[in-house]
Chain A
Amino acid sequence: MAQRRTAWTRLTTPFANIPASTATALALAMWVAVIGGWALLSYGRVVPNMFLPTPGTVLQTTYRMSLDGSLLYHTFTSAKVVILGFIVSSLISVPLGLWMGTYRVVQAPLEPLVNFIRYLPVTSFVPLFILWIGIGIEQRIAVIFFGTFFQQLVMISDCARSVSRDLVNASYTLGTKRSEAVWHVIFPAALPAILDTLRVTMGWAWTYLVVAELVAASSGLGYISLKAMRGFQVDVIFMAIAAIGLLGLITDTAFRIVRSRVAPWAP
């Protein structure tokens, strides 16, 4: 049957699978197109190099800053801020979100407040954080925390709430007590969804990095981007952006691996 369909029909059928080789080729082609377009615009001087550096210059800068260790130093500082902010946020949001999704009595007071706060722009709190916390690493961690925590809380509470009622009911008829249901049933049942939430919000945490390092930082990828802007070092900005993207990709992959290890039963 499938043999009689043309390649075009097969590629344009909704939800139909395509061969792995085709998928890889398409992904590579996309990168080639983006980098090729960039090369064309920069080497062809369509955009002045002051605004758009050539791929060569960015590679050179990356090489230079790798050699003197500054790239690693700034990357490490930024990763520390993001990961610490993310961990502190997750440590509170996972148990609290589970309770919020499980017990209406926890949800009722928290939800209106959380829904109010999570629409507030993180940037508007930066001056407050500086006043309250100062300009150390704690202030930057606070920005990451503020950007991720409230989103995580709402999403994790939804994960808990969407656990099948009959799964919990079945556990009661097998001897689970009400007080045990959160830990014995709702948490493991929601775990795959919680790990997906953590993976997605980890990505958001990275996006708050530059905001966190906007003021009063003396190292980090966001910090060198801001400094480079003042000196028109567009190549450094490009490098910093690529580094943040790459770090995001690494943490994302790490979470996928953790999920497949911790929850091998989940699709």
Chain B
Amino acid sequence: MGTLILNASSQTAVESRMAMTETIKAKNLAGTASAAGDPHSTGTTMAIQDVTLRYGDANGVLALDDVSLKVARNEFCVIVGPSGCGKSSLLYLAAGLNDATSGSIKVDGREVIEPGPDRGMVFQSYTLFPWLTVRANVEYGPRRKGLPAAQRKQIVDQYLDEVGLAPFADHYPAQLSGGMKQRVAIARALANDPAVLLMDEPFGALDSQTRGTMQKLLLRVWERQQKTVLFVTHDIDEALVLGDRVLVMTARPGKIKAEIKVDIPRPRSMDVILEPEFIALKRRILGLLHDEIDEDH
């Protein structure tokens, strides 16, 4: 394959990340290795290294161009970017649902080749199994793993409780609202105790009020469960409310343009969007994304 790794020839991942951070002069990102200052960080969970994705042959569309990033253990990392920038494609690669043209993705040091339960994923579309009840949906992963019934029940009860849907355990997905379906989807992914939780605009199809509720719920679950999350969205508010770190992606070909550390203290309330610190970060990301759109024309 005529893989084109355009500018990775001399830079290591850390160097290239440092080059990126130079675009954000105001923030101190010294050390750079992902969320170095993160109190509950104890190492790298996911390492994406020089990943390029080209659809079709060597002349096909370049969807991702030499993307490198690291997600620290228990970090909440958010990728934000314009639609069509390849941020979802990157998540599908991380899940193992698609093959990169070149580059490598490692989770806990192991190369990602196939999809697997160590990389739970929540999709934008509703992907609950409609023929299974809420309980059986959450139980699906533990059942595939061959866990004994008693242990499965304990896991299912725990996570249904976590997302507040215990009273709906025997409902079918068709009987639930969109927000409830995504809560079950989160519980179902967590029931496998994945090393990393991949979330592809999971609240994109929800109305804004439900989205706020879901963000609050996700933060609560994340703070309690201590999970590594890689979250993709095009909503800047969502990215800043949720993330420890926000990576801004450029469009076609997808590249990581900037890395912004979100130093807003936790636990965060939904009112955080009114804080001057938040607004300053939002202005910076908006500026980065606007540059993108201007370059397009």
Contacts and interface: CB of A to CB of B under 8 A. Distances in A.
A94 interface: no
B117 A189 contact: no
Nearest to A167: B127
Contact of A173 (B129, B145, B189): B189
Contacts of A267: 174
A164 B173 CA distance: 15
Nearest to B116: A175
Interface in A164-198: 164, 166-167, 169-176, 185, 188-189, 191
A174 B95 contact: no
Nearest to A265: B172
Interface string A241-267: 000000000000000000000011111
B129 A167 contact: yes
A185 B121 contact: no
B131 A169 contact: no
Contacts of A174: 117, 120, 140-141, 144, 188-189, 192
B147 to A, nearest CB: 11
A172 B115 contact: yes
Interface string B172-190: 1110000000000100110
A169 B141 contact: no
B119 interface: yes
B293 interface: no
B112 to A, nearest CB: 12
Interface residues of B, number: 29
A173 B114 CA distance: 9
Nearest to B194: A173
Given A174-B188, A265-B172, A189 B145 contact: no
A185 B116 CA distance: 16
B127 A188 contact: no
A174 B119 CA distance: 8
Task: Name the prevailing secondary structure of the A interface residues.
Answer: helix
Interface in B122-161: 123, 125, 127, 129-131, 140-141, 144-145
B131 A265 contact: yes
Nearest to A262: B131
Contacts of B120: 173-174
Contacts of B115: 169, 172-173
Contacts of B279: none
Contacts of B192: 174-175
B119 A173 contact: yes
A166 B201 CA distance: 14
A127 to B, nearest CB: 45
Most chain A beta carbons < 10 A, residue from B116, B127, B188, B198: B127
Contact of B123 (A170, A188, A189, A265): A170
Contacts of B96: 172
Contacts of B119: 173
B173 A265 contact: yes
B97 interface: yes
Most chain B beta carbons < 10 A, residue from A171, A172, A264: A172
Contacts of A164: 125, 127
Given A164-B127, A166-B125, A175-B144, A265 B174 contact: yes
A191 B131 contact: yes
A170 B172 contact: no
A158 to B, nearest CB: 18
B121 A169 contact: yes
A165 to B, nearest CB: 9
Contacts of A173: 95, 97, 115-117, 119-121, 189, 198
B171 to A, nearest CB: 10
A166 B130 CA distance: 13
Contacts of B141: 174-175
Contacts of B172: 264-265
24 contacts: A166-B127, A169-B97, A169-B115, A169-B123, A172-B96, A172-B97, A172-B114, A172-B115, A173-B95, A173-B116, A173-B117, A173-B119, A173-B198, A174-B140, A174-B141, A174-B188, A175-B117, A176-B144, A189-B131, A263-B131, A264-B172, A265-B131, A265-B172, A266-B130
Given A166-B125, A175-B192, 15 more contacts: A169-B121, A169-B123, A169-B127, A171-B129, A172-B97, A172-B115, A173-B97, A173-B116, A173-B120, A174-B144, A188-B131, A265-B131, A266-B130, A266-B174, A267-B174
